[in-house]
Amino acid sequence: MVEELELVDVWRRLNPGRTQFTFYSNPHKSWSRIDMAWVNGNLLKEVQDIKILTNIWADHNPLQIIWKDRRYKKSRWTLNSQLLKEQGYTQKIKEELIGFFNCNRKQDTSLQNLWDTMKAYLRGISIAYTANKN
């Protein structure tokens, strides 16, 4: 199963050659490292550190995995300009614009509101088109 799922013992991979234990057997007076954290090898690059903590109340020491910071900055959506070269996309946009303006061009709607709404609508159409294409 380890090979099939490409699992990696995180602590051992990040601490090669180091000796530290997670379990103490009082009857046998022996230590062992039986508590482990396994992740897929692709996920290992997201681990910043792993620690074996101390615990005075139990015979097992807990593991603490510290993950790399994964916060991303918000970015503005931009149109993939390569879509403009696709006839299927440009035809879809033309049809959607005709339908949009037929439904939304009213006397009491400001041009600014119409413009902003149309941009949001086309962004949704473009995202859906790209998602369905893939």
Q: Which residue's structure tokens are 């954290």?
A: 37
**Span 27-86, pLDDT tens digits:** 888 778 877 778 888 888 899 999 988 877 777 888 888 999 877 667 788 999 999 999
Domain boundaries along the sequence of the chain = 3-67, 81-133
pTM: 0.46
CA–CA dist 7, 94 (Å, integer):
50
CA–CA dist 63, 51 (Å, integer):
6
pLDDT for the residue 80: 92
Find, among 8, 37, 7, the residue nearest to 22 by Cα.
37
Tell me if 40 sits within 8 A of 8, measured CB to CB: yes
65 pairs with which residues across the strands? 50
